[in-house]
A and B are shown apart, each in its own frame.
Chain A
Amino acid sequence: SYELTQPPSVSVSPGQTARITCSGDALPKQYAYWYQQKPGQAPVLVIYKDSERPSGIPERFSGSSSGTTVTLTISGVQAEDEADYYCQSADSSDTYRVFGTGTRVTVL
């Protein structure tokens, strides 16, 4: 079955830049989506279609894509950005969705 692989954790100091990668064989063909999830809350979409930012999401969140890897970048990290982040995409036939393994971002 199709898998999306993320690093388990990323630690960053306030004001620095956090980068979270997501790797999957179908990513050159399928859009990637990024979610932020804080404890006890439903996930919130922060990036769609690889690099688009929904209204209300701060500009410090950005996305990029290169081959089989997509990256979520948080520039000028703030304490409120501490959360779990998940990538999500579709399989190569666009039949089902898959979530990445998740990355916990810790703000030091």
Chain B
Amino acid sequence: QVQLVESGGGVVQPGRSLRLSCAASGFTFSSYGMHWVRQAPGKGLEWVAVMSYDGSNKYYADYVKGRFTISRDNSKNTLSLQMNSLRAEDTALYYCAKLSSGSYPEDYWGQGTLVTVSS
């Protein structure tokens, strides 16, 4: 069955870096664009970034642009998010997701990895 398993979360000081990973299985990872979505404690869902199926295109939300970098390795079925210059407001549960789209209606989410930015 489809699995998305995030890892790499933890407690980090403001201004430091963290790298999240997402291991995918059970579907053809290399065929789909992949997203990171986050949710601060007690708050709503917030889209973070997307990378196209082949890595040729990537887009970011304004609040992470210039600080976060999304990448993927289709040979290893993994998606990553390099987070630099972390701020308290980046504290959230980070989900890796294959979001439904017009061409590909399937929708998959991991269980998330928690990032806490605190001194």
Report A's interface with B, CB cutoff 8 A: 1, 31, 33, 35, 37, 42-43, 45, 48-49, 52, 54, 84, 86, 88, 95-102
Contact = CB atoms under 8 A, between A and B. Distances in A.
A42 B112 contact: yes
Contact of B109 (A42, A54, A102): A42
Interface of B: 35, 37, 44-47, 50, 59-62, 95, 99-102, 105, 107, 109-112
Nearest to A30: B102
Given A86-B45, A88-B99, A45 B62 contact: no
A3 to B, nearest CB: 12
B50 A96 contact: yes
B47 A45 contact: no
Given A96-B59, A99-B44, A102-B44, A48 B105 contact: yes
